[in-house]
Amino acid sequence: MSTSETESSQTESFVPPPTPQLSLLLELQEDDLALDRLAYRRRGLAERVAVSELGSRLAELAARVAEAQEQRDKLASQLLTLDQRSEAVGARIATIEQRLRSGRAGSYRDEQAMGEEVASLARQRREIEDQELEVMEALEPFDQELTALTQANSSAAGELALAREQLGIAEAVIDDETATIRAARDQLVTRVAPELLASYERLRAKLGGIGAARLVGGACSGCHLQLPAGELHRLRHAAPGSVVYCDQCGRILVLTSDQADR
């Protein structure tokens, strides 16, 4: 423990300067709070919100594309089946007509039966073609939707790339600032006595990031509660270099000479 160069005075208004160790601790506390604020800012960056929102939009678009594509595929497969049926009917008509033309039909009755079959097949083919038209009409809106979705998707993907870039820039600014403060903190830490540092770290982890507090106007700046007069008197006359704790919140309490505590 370091000893203060000033002897404690008996006058009530005298506030002993904080020992170098406690001053360092206050500096450390400031750095830690600055780092906490930077981390908080980094997490809550508007650019991060934008990236997340665009990510959701892209996921939603992908789901809509999948749904439209599935419907479209169903119709396309129906169309293929109809097309195959229409071709088969056409081939059958061609075969019969070929036989009729070649004169291998046989009797007149056979010829008549074949003619009737051709007429019936032709009717069937027209029906199939009508169905094909219906399916093609049903396909059209899905094709339009898919085109629109593809456009929306590519524009959202472009926006996302840009938003990611902007997030990267914003993060880099905070990271630079963080690195500077962290380097200063790393330096400070080597100068703080290990037991004091351990005590501070423990309190900081437990008490919302604040392990060391100033005494301001007779109140603890950690819990903002006014200290009883007797307690103040005890603190002011504590042995130089001793570490005192707030009775109410348990934080390390640092009396600084620039505050005229009465």
Residue numbers at the binding site for Zn ion (CB under 5 A): 220, 222-223, 246, 248-249
User: What is the nearest approach in angstroms of Zn ion to the Cβ of residue 235?
Assistant: 12
User: Shortest approach of Zn ion to residue 50 CB, angstroms?
Assistant: 40
Nearer to Zn ion, 76 or 223 (CB): 223
Residue 155 beta carbon to Zn ion: minimum distance, rounded to whole angstroms: 55
From residue 45, give the alpha-carbon distance in Å to each of 39, 52, 141.
10, 11, 40
CB of 8 to Zn ion, least distance (A): 23
Residue 232 or 246: the one with the smaller Cβ distance to Zn ion is 246
Strand partners, 220: 215
Q: How far is the CB of 223 from Zn ion (least distance, A)?
A: 3
Of 118 and 249, which has the nearer Cβ to Zn ion? 249
| Nearer of residues 29 and 86 to Zn ion, judged by Cβ | 29
Nearer to Zn ion (CB atom), residue 181 or residue 253: 253
